[in-house]
Structure 1
């Protein structure tokens, strides 16, 4: 049985005016009255008032689906905010929105639904952004550049020492008793590496993310000419 409070002429007239004011389309998804059933949503409720005793600005037109999302009956596909992300290392995660397996988990938040862990496509769709896609593109670019550096033909192998220049910094990897030691710009790291690949990766990362430059500035180590300020 239909609720009688939605059957009166006053409500029908008020409802029609609101929907007409919004151009006969859902204010959230943009679909029109030919595609969906349109309803009126009250953005606030005032105790004692009838449904039609509200200012026009307190009501918006929504389709049935968006109206249900607004009231928390079904999970909304809008209003989500990107919070952070993490690399799970492999396809061991499951998107809490669509159920697909994922390696990169994106954490999003909705003020009415709390937090959700989703994959790239669901993150982009729910936040109405390219936050996840741009992040993964940045990761792919970083990994591609690292592999190009590691495999570069510019590496010079002299006995157990491997030397290259990157961004004007000289990088040297020495092997001593099957342990690898990394030296950048004359500064030898105290960390020991168990493979040449690991040492080269570390060198690339600290130069690519700027951490080595920060280290030099902090300890007042002269930088190559490229970085020196002109007088």
Structure 2
């Protein structure tokens, strides 16, 4: 299999317009033909909007404790630590960065998400960062939580593997298909959804059913 994230085999990042099933279920946003990005763009920005990303996290009654803790951690990393967007979901000692990218860079197909078309590859493990932040988890737990945060549109995740190369995703319909991380994901590109820093969703979250509430407590 050809090496991914190179000039000849770039990664196609999952676009913001991709389907977000949990967001649609929880708010009704994105259930029509317009899609979540178009609907959100029509919302009015609040006159006084402070710490909206964190408020939008805290006031979503459908998030569990792990969702909240990892959501806060990612926000802190991107807003305060100037971290690169690509993370390992395994321990650093178990992965060779030479398996992806070229000359320390990850090459991307679409410049709409990253204007330069490349991003620096830093060997950083989200698993190890989470554990240092007293978030007890493993690779499977990280993948499950990242998929939930992605489906609620707090973040957008792209698995760095052959399934997300430009050639593999040619003509793929993102607007009607949700693209989640596979259970084997080792490297992921993550970006925050900055719309959650501009718009107030706190009154849009629907309360979960009793059965859903019980699941959140387990």
Shorter chain as normaliser: what TM range? under 0.3
Question: TM-score when scaled to structure 2?
Answer: 0.20
Higher RCO (CA 8 Å, separation ≥ 6 residues): 2
Question: TM-score when scaled to structure 1?
Answer: 0.19
